[in-house]
Amino acid sequence: MDSWFVLINVIILLAFIGLLIYMQKKHVSFTKRVFTGLGVGIVLGAFLQYFYGADSKVLTKTVDWYSIVGSGYIRLLMMIVVPLVMVSIIQSIINMEKSSELGKISAWIIGILVTTAMVAALIGIVTSTVFDLDASQIEAGQAEEERGLMMEERLTEVEDLSTPQKILNFIPSNIFLDMTGERPTSVISVVIFSMIVGVAVLGLRRKHSEHAEFFTKIVNAVHAVVMRMVTLILRLTPFGILALMANTVAKTSVSGIIELGKFVIASYVGLFVIFIFHLVLLALFGLNPFTYLKKVMPVLTFAFTSRSSAGTIPLTSQVQRETLGVEPGIANMAASFGATIGQNGCAGFYPAMLAVMIAPTVGIDPLAPEFIVKLVLIIGISSFGVAGVGGGATFAALIVLSSMGLPVALAGILISIEALIDMGRTAVNVNDSILAGTLTARILKKLNMKQFHDKTTLDEKMVL
């Protein structure tokens, strides 16, 4: 009998996918299709949980089938990340007039990412204080206690590495290993390798121009093929969002939300404040935040549902290049760096909130100036190398809490609502990547203002 219910659920998903295909054939805009997928996914997920129950076998099997569409789409995006990053950065450097521009671009992007992460940490501190969040007030069940023990075990892996060693991990020793995405810092390692290749070609151009010219033609051809692959995969976004959202809502613990409702509300209030801070920065640099918001919303919607900054790299890069007017080299670097450096939601805001919540349980005043200064500095340093996939926030929390001398096990109390909070954090992470690229291009006078103000959005780019 269970198999029949699962089959019915799959047919329902296929019917909604058919609706999205119909909308695509009728040339309904990409943004409208994305939000339709989001809305339908929420309703479908709520229906599944209400009708079957969060712990039912039918729901578990249904989620597995839905994952073919949702997780399958994420896998396709992850598949294209390394070739996209590599070929885009090599091509961008080859097309630079001066190799010295590379250092300026990298410095500004990283500087903006880390600085905004530190500001996000301050917002996290204020949010926890205003909402009077205290870890000791939350009861931990068996699942939370097991999660806490797991975090303590994982802490031993993190503590074995000093800050210089963590930075050293960025430098690739086996580029083919990093192409597999094996390490949390693999994307940064691929970026570094690609930058070295690009600089090498610039040097080769002065001595053996014919070899450099031949290599440039190959890179341009490969870049064209990769970008076409990216476009084909990104057109599947509405379907991926539909399945991802249905799975997320279906598996979300309603009782956990009710019990930890105060933390959920506080988290989203704080994340909203960070988002407003990003828009204010744009306005300070003479850019219309509403124009920006209209263009990036489909990307942020995908980031929200996928919970993967790394998986969003293709969209993050494309929206900068094709609608915001950011120079391709800056756009690709910002998208790549932003997936593992200075993530405002996961590496800045979240660890700061936890630190302020946990500090009173061990007799530490979280509002003491020395505590705040130390916390913000540690977050700035540790924001390097946070994996841009689900679980990156946990890794960041382990580093920060252990560096502050705080118990990490208490962070396990939030396991029941982790997915719900992570959706908002990821959207903020991705927005910070786009912000870093846009502001860097603006500062270095490489932002096409005509394209930025043009009303063309991703809709025209993504409709078949």
Task: Answer whether residue 143 shows pLDDT above 70.
Answer: no
Q: Which residue's structure tokens are 């250092």?
A: 103
pLDDT on residue 463: 41
Give the residue-averaged pLDDT of 107-119: 93
Q: Calculate the average pLDDT of the chain.
A: 82
**CB crowding 125-148: b at 16 or more within 10 Å, else e:** bebbeebebebeebebeeebeebb
Gap between the Cα atoms of 134 and 131, Å rounded: 9
Residue 69 vs residues 39, 54, 73, 244, 247: alpha-carbon distances, Å: 17, 20, 6, 8, 11
Amino acid letter, residue 304: F
pLDDT at 94: 83
Q: How many residues does the chain have?
A: 464
Mean local confidence (pLDDT), 250-265: 73
Predicted pLDDT at 392: 62
Nearest 5°: the CA angle 264, 269, 274 is 125
Task: Give DSSP secondary structure letters for 150-162.
Answer: HHHHHHHHHHTS-
Residue 141 confidence (pLDDT): 46
Q: Of 216 and 98, which is predicted with more confidence?
A: 216
Report pLDDT digits (tens) over 290-336. Answer: 999 999 998 998 888 877 887 788 889 889 988 999 988 889 889 88
Query: Given this model, what pLDDT does residue 35 score?
Result: 86
- What Rg, from alpha-carbon coordinates, does the chain have? 22
Single-letter amino acid, residue 50: Y
Res. 458: pLDDT tops 60:
no
User: What end-to-end distance do the CA atoms of the chain give, in Å?
Assistant: 41
Average pLDDT over residues 386-403: 67
CATH number at residue 107: 1.10.3860.10
How many independent structural domains does the chain possess? 1
- Please choose, from the candidates 417, 52, 413, 416, the residue with its C-alpha nearest in 3D space to the C-alpha of residue 250: 52
Q: Is the pTM of this model over 0.85?
A: no
Measured in degrees and rounded to the nearest 5, phi and psi for residue 326 equal -80, 135
Among the listed residues 299, 339, 301, the one whose alpha carbon sits nearest the alpha carbon of residue 84: 339
Q: What is the pLDDT of residues 335-357, one digit of tens each?
A: 888 887 888 988 899 889 989 98
User: What contacts 285, CB < 8 A, 6 or more positions away?
Assistant: 439, 442, 443
Interatomic CA distance for residues 154 and 410, integer angstroms = 14
> Is the pLDDT confidence value at 462 over 50?
no
Give, for 178, the enclosing helix (H) or strand (E). helix 175-179
pLDDT for 123 beyond 90: yes
Locate 295 and state its tokens. 């263009």
Better-scored residue on pLDDT, 151 or 24: 24
Please tell me the predicted confidence (pLDDT) of residue 464: 38
- CB–CB of 288/405 below 8 Å? no
| pLDDT number for residue 93 | 82
CA dihedral 62, 65, 68, 70 (to 10 degrees): -10
Average pLDDT over residues 60-78: 89
Q: Which domain does 109 fall in, by range?
A: 2-462
Q: Which helix (H) or strand (E) holds 305?
A: helix 289-306
| pLDDT greater than 70 at residue 18 | yes
pLDDT digits (tens, 9 = 90+) for 152-193: 555 555 555 566 766 677 788 888 888 877 776 677 788 888
Q: Take residue 244 and report the two structure tokens written for it.
A: 């991802």
> What's the mean pLDDT in 392-409?
75
